[in-house]
Structure formats: structure tokens, C-alpha cells
Structure 1
């Protein structure tokens, strides 16, 4: 996967679906989407095996990805909710609620950065 930058896009099953922000440092992963007034179209946290919705005001779509960026599980994360760490999860994709349905992202989908 390529590094985050101004022309970074999320692909789902080889289709470009949105812009993408990547959180790869400890600080950027810890902050995630907390305290933002505007959410990005999508945020990829890597490495990461679980996320929480503490202090979030809106629900999020969350996908747990393996090392090859295949979707292992999909969740609707409610404010103050959390996903549990799961064996084989290498990264987590977050997006505003209902994004995954619009993009056709489901268990088994392959995610990539373009």
C-alpha cells in the first residue's frame, strides 16, 4: 500500500470509492477521528486491531482487515462502543455510517490504496 498523501484514494474490489486518510503513527492512530468537527471520507489505521468510539458523537462503519487488506468483519460502531481485538486483524478502516453500503464493502471485499 502506498503512503498517505493528497491524492490518496480508497479502492474496494478494484473500484475507487472515496478519498482516504491514513493514520500510521502512534499519535495519529490514537487520535483517529476523535474531536474532529468534519470527518474524512475514510480513515485507515495501520497497524491496528481494534477501535473505540469514546467521545464520538456519530456512528461509524468499521471494517477489520487482514494483512492483505481483505475484510474480515464489518461493524456499525456506535458512540462509546468498541471492537474487540481479533486474531489476524492488521488494520482497521473507519468511515461515516452507511458508507460501506454505498461502496459495496462487505466481508470478503479487498481494500487497497490508490
Structure 2
């Protein structure tokens, strides 16, 4: 699985290593208590519909970039500082990336989460 930013038809891979927070506990924990994350990493939160979604950086000792998506369209991008960062926006999907990974991503851009089968079908 990978995360691809596609502004104006020019694909840019934001992450090649994607972890999905699927359970209540993994969503609540997020990146808490980790010392760092790899440069090509993303933590993906998928929800059943669009609603206002909050993020916090309690017990996260490093900065991240957070991206809120609704139907694959970026709603907000925000750098969240370690320990004290907070963010909120309407989304059905949230991505947490290493700080700097979302540089150049803006509201209105498209981001796709691709599986191996998605990538092979796009290459044809």
C-alpha cells in the first residue's frame, strides 16, 4: 500500500509504508509512545463517512504532518508539533506523516491510497 499525491497529474509518493489504524484501540493510540517513524511511513485512519475529526499529539514526541481527506480531496494540511499539537477538520480519512512529508500538499489537491492491485491496474 502507498499514499500518492497527484497535483495536476504529476504523481508524488508520500509514503510507501502504510499502517492502517483499524481498531478502536489502534485509532485511540495513533502514534503515541513511539520514538519516531520512518521517512516513507503513513498512519491511515479511515472512517464511515465525513464528520469533524480531531487529532492530538499527547505522548507523541516528534512533529508530524496531518492531512484530512474527504472523498480523496485534501480538506486541510497541518504541521502538528510534538506533545502539544492539535488539529480538527471534516474528513472521512486522515493521514499522519513524518514532518515535511506533506510539504507542497494543499487543500483541494487529490491524494490516493493505492494497494498493489490499484497500482498494477493504473500502469496498464
TM-score after normalising by structure 2? 0.72
Structure with more of its chain in helix, by fraction: 2
Q: Deviations over 1:31-77 (max 9, x none)?
A: 111111331411111228121000111111111111x1210011111
Aligned equivalent of 2:101, options 78, 99, 107: 99
TM-score after normalising by structure 1? 0.78
Aligned equivalent of 1:77, options 75, 80, 83: 80
Alignment partner of 1:38: what SS?
coil
Q: Report which structure shows greater RCO (CA 8 Å, sep ≥6).
A: 1
Structure-2 residue corresponding to 1:61: 65
Verify the 8 A CA contact 1:29 1:46 in the aligned structure 2: no
> Which runs of no fewer than 5 residues in structure 1 stay unpaired?
1-7
Q: CA deviation at 1:17?
A: 3.1
Dislocated runs of 4+, deviation >4 Å: none
Q: CA RMSD in A?
A: 1.8
Verify the 8 A CA contact 1:10 1:17 in the aligned structure 2: yes
Structure with more of its chain in strand, by fraction: 2
2:56 is the counterpart of 1:39 = no
How many residues align structurally? Answer: 102
26 and 71 in structure 1: CA distance in 2 versus 1, 3 angstrom threshold: same
